Structure 1
Amino acid sequence: MTTIQKTHLYNFTLAELKDWIVAECGEKPYRAVQLFEWMYQKRVTSFEEMTNLPKQLREELSQRAVLITAREAVRQDSKVDPTSKFLLAWPDDVTVETVLMRHSYGNSVCVSSQVGCKMGCTFCASTLGGMIRQMRAGEMVEQLLYSQRLLDDVGERVSSIVLMGSGEPMDNYDEVMRFIEIVSSEHGLHIGQRHITISTVGLVPGIRRLADEGRQVTLAVSLHAPNDELRGAMMPVNKAYPIAKLMDACHYYNEKTGKRISFEYALVGGQNDSLECAKELAALIRGLPCHVNLIPVNYVPERNYSRTDRKQIYAFWHALQDAGINATIRREMGHDIAAACGQLRAQHMNRRAQ
């Protein structure tokens, strides 16, 4: 007996879903619009609930396609702020993290784009164990919908997305862009691209490609050091794309899009948090429309890094402000639930290995 490999419908943009439903089900394209709206606007979890579709089509969809492929492996809810972290598991036994952050100005979801990461940043738990595989667009969609269904229970919605979870989005460029097209569709969740942030460790070709395509997403660049010596020690990617090349790409991005860049800067005690580093950073980015997001580094047991003390964090921030650089200190969320990238997955893998 031949088993039909079911198609994961969350992988499809609306245009792709129209092509699929015509080719595979012999239906008119408008049925795809109805299906898409059931998936994203009503967020049903079964085809049987799609009551304006013919019964025969619903039965055929059940045989040919699937919606939810992930299950919750672990959930942690912070006791100190409205943050929830989920470890979702897929049939091939891989897991990734998703974080739902509730703010006074809206709800944000942090999505993972890869299972693990191969970038090797020395302060990040995501790189522990390397990269297992890429996330498909539909698997990223499932992370988002998982959070949105929780918000549905209280009558709220996801207002912004940050691709800052495990993995390097620019290393999975095509699937990430398909994900963005799906979730920004007016027939779906309709989350504007201006409310979607892509974070990169500095893959220059991806930054330039994003600039050339003219997408309205926000670009965040993980800088973390103001010179090649420091950055190279913390981020292996700096050997391929040193700071001069990275800054050239950032200027190119700004010139092509007119959009401001956000620079992420993780403060590590005794390494990149001196006032000299602050002055060097200010000189490096001066003249480029940007914003610096200072991040007190999260403690990771496998990494020998210490957090910059509070007094020095504010001294670093004041030095940037005095130099005319727009900077903020990221508010810590989920500190009690291993909310740093990769921490929950690393804990889960360690428990399974014991």
Structure 2
Amino acid sequence: MNTSELIELEKRYGADIYHPLDVVIERASGAWMYDIEGRKYLDFLSAYSALNQGHCHPVIFQALWEQAQKVTLTSRAFRNDQLPLLYKELHDLTGFEMVLPMNSGTEAVETALKAARKWGHCVKKIPPNHAEIIVCGNNFHGRTLSVIGFSSDAQYRRGFGPFSAGFKQIPFGDAEALRAAISPNTCAFLVEPIQGEAGIIIPPKGYLHEVATICKQRDVLLIVDEIQSGLGRTGKLFAYMHENIAPDVVIVGKALSGGYYPVSAVLSSREVLGVFTPGDHGSTFGGNPLACAVARAALRVLVEEKLAERSAKLGAYALHRLQKMKGPNLVEVRGRGLWIGIELSSPARGYCQALQERGVLCKETHSTVIRLAPPLVIERSDLEWGLEQIESVVGES
């Protein structure tokens, strides 16, 4: 079947919940993707940071292949030989005492919210059903009912109410707003260190350090959502490390599997995750041996290939170069590591389509921002070529 026939099938039989570019990918390797017509594209999105290790990394594939021939699923009714090894390796890499594995990033967010509320009741002694969690405007933490209920995006909420109570929203980047919003019933503050879906919004310098101090002073858990920003994307293992803080809870996903399989996790202390007892929470697929083997390999690639360091170096080069662009519709170029937002004064969709025609695939977010996030394994020469295409499209406009 050709491209138009496959697109027609997708439109006819699939629920219309995305607005993808009209390219049908058949295969991919490293930083490159190929459509069914044989055209070659440089990936500048990385499946929203799920492919930090690149497409079809051979080390991760080998782990997947070997484990798939042994055992793929036991459920948590029985133990398996991969889960404890993943726990230990995540502990050794991050320093957190405990891990709770799930599948999607949204599931991990929900897990963190449950843990925070129960910690608030059991440890902080907040009265039952009174725990509050503070979130930020323009957040993106997933698509479940509880998460969209505290979104500030009207479309995410429209038609899906009623929503869960217990969430309070404040402006992102405003530490004093956090201080003012905390009450005796506040159990946690959930924040993205850098807001990805909002358009790569970086908070003021010192913001994370200040909110970490406030949370500690007021006995409030600091939960950082590193699903997109974590695992090397911003030039460090986690984005919160740019301000040398120690959050209470970290949520990871996406690149935890290198793009092979849905794997996510909540990392925290024994005090927080220790509030769970058997029956409080669960997942049939969470922590399955195939997922754990894949995640272990994905972490090994991240460390052994020094992908965070690579992101820092290549990202600094890309940001410096793009910030020199001139164009009548160009508002701002901002970013950290290989995670860059190009904000325009007009819709970004047409620019992404023009880049597709030149062989570069990226995607608009919040209408007027082009989000760039190439795989961290990208060769410098390929990155340079991709940047040339962006300069030609955005700089000419």
TM-score scaled to structure 2, two decimals? 0.27
Name the structure with the higher helix share.
Answer: 1
TM-score scaled to structure 1, two decimals? 0.29
Structure possessing the higher relative contact order (Cα contacts under 8 Å, 6 or more residues apart) = 2
